[in-house]
Chains A and B, each alone.
Chain A
Amino acid sequence: MNCKEVINLMDGYLDGELDPVTNQTVEQHLRDCPNCDRAYKAHGMLMRAIGSASPYHKAPAGLRERIQFSLREEVAEQPMRDLSQPALRAYRRPQAGAKTVLVGTPWNWLALAAAIVVAAIITFNFVPRLRPGADQLLATQLIASHVRSLMANHLTDVASSDQHTVKPWLDTKLDFAPAVPDLSNKGFPLVGGRLDYLDNRPVAALIYQRRQHFINLFVWPIESNAANSTKTMSRQGYQLLHWVDSDFTYWAVSDVNANDLQTFKQDFDEQIHPR
């Protein structure tokens, strides 16, 4: 192998991409040829410099949320579009059977059909797993609302870290008056308030911050039959925490970890119901 050939293979050699035999031949040549060895060392240093000195453009904050939101929109649109397909299948399948079964023994077939209908109704209505629970639907809405609030520069309608600004503003817009505690000394500074629409009613959204993360706390008056329970959920990388007190139902949504959200709830509770 001459010097020209070795120089041509230099990049592959440095990248460790040559086959073992060629690799060994190049290695042998570099031991014997000081000129090529010098070129090899210089080229190697340049390559390491490219790798270590060229800046890596990490994704900016918010891009992830933006993508997740657009993916959810995509999924939400799809069932509408695809409905025609299952419809066709549902139509074809019984028809294929109809020619043989139905013509000969209609009553047996009808009995079978009736049995299927009964089974179907029972399954559909009484097996809860098949239907997305109300909580699941609400959780989806809550996350969508949280993501949207971070996307479109619409985090707050009233931006203020002062509870005495946020609370009166919300009180004038809503038919209820949620507490707006100041939690800045607990590490959850207030960012502002917003009106939102969830679960078929206007709700208050209080925005708190935890380090670089935002917490949307959605508040609305408690339903008379609401269960007095605390729930935690983790979906799509977001944490949800739900609780109620004597007047309101609360849903906190954020990408902070579950512990932080629990701490947030405790601090919130302690501020508005001091012992």
Chain B
Amino acid sequence: MAVALPLKPTHASESGDFESDQKVVKFEVVKKREEQDHSQTGELTSFEETMLPHLDAAHNLAKWLLRNEEDAQDVVQEAYLRAFRSFGGFRGGNGRAWLLTIVRNTSYTLLKKNRAADFTVFDEEIHASSDESVGPATILEHSEDAELIKEAINELPAEFREILVLRHQEGLSYKEIADIAQIPPGTVMSRLARARGKLKEYLAARIGKEK
């Protein structure tokens, strides 16, 4: 093992015997490596116990953001690896929110790479085509139509899809949402309001078309 080499000149000149020192060093290294192996297995166990229960939440967010099953699975796997690497920085608290932050960032990296379209500025004009004749009552009649709601959400830009999922499906607080979406806590409410408003418009537009 090359590790002991630097010791040789010093010790050899002083004592004429470096055999034993070499062994000491060897032992230290071997032992350290074992400790490391043990601690890594322990860390992995602890990581899996903390984070694997949130696999559904991770997949759900990735699927809504990427709108593609294959990408979602790749991103979730990558996010778990990233999370494991930085698990040392996790100081307890809400493990789900911590993991979702990483899933969100990993998803955006892929979104930016694949589909710049998702990041064009949201154009109010293009989408402001809601049918005024479709009132809240009509929307509510259709509000249990899961397919309709899913399609309408999928039409929204990523920042709206994400905030609706975090609030309505994960039930996270404004503070947690602000941390995950990396926006000031004060803007969570207004963004949610805009997301819901847009969703309502889209639902109205779709229902209007069906009529």
Residues of A within 8 A of B (CB): 8-12, 15, 17, 42-43, 45-47, 49-60, 63-64, 66-68, 70-72, 74-75, 78-79, 82-83, 86-87, 89-91, 94-95, 98, 102-103, 106, 110, 113-114, 116-117, 120-121, 124, 130-132, 236-237
Contacts and interface: CB of A to CB of B under 8 A. Distances in A.
B182 interface: no
Interface residues of B, number: 73
A103 B10 CA distance: 10
Contact of A59 (B41, B76, B143): B76
B55 A63 contact: yes
B127 interface: no
Contact of B6 (A10, A12, A91, A236): A91
A59 B24 contact: no
Interface stretch (B90-98, B105-113, B114-122, B165-173): B165-173
B58 A91 contact: no
Interface of B: 2-3, 6-7, 10-11, 14-15, 17, 20-21, 23-25, 27-34, 36-37, 40-41, 44-45, 47-48, 52, 55-56, 58-60, 63-64, 69, 72-73, 76-77, 80-81, 84-85, 136-137, 139-140, 143-146, 149-150, 153, 164-165, 167-169, 173-174, 188-190, 192-193, 196, 199-200
Nearest to A57: B63
A54 B153 contact: yes
Contacts of A75: 40-41, 44
Contacts of A51: 168-169
Given A15-B167, A78-B40, A95-B7, A87 B29 contact: yes
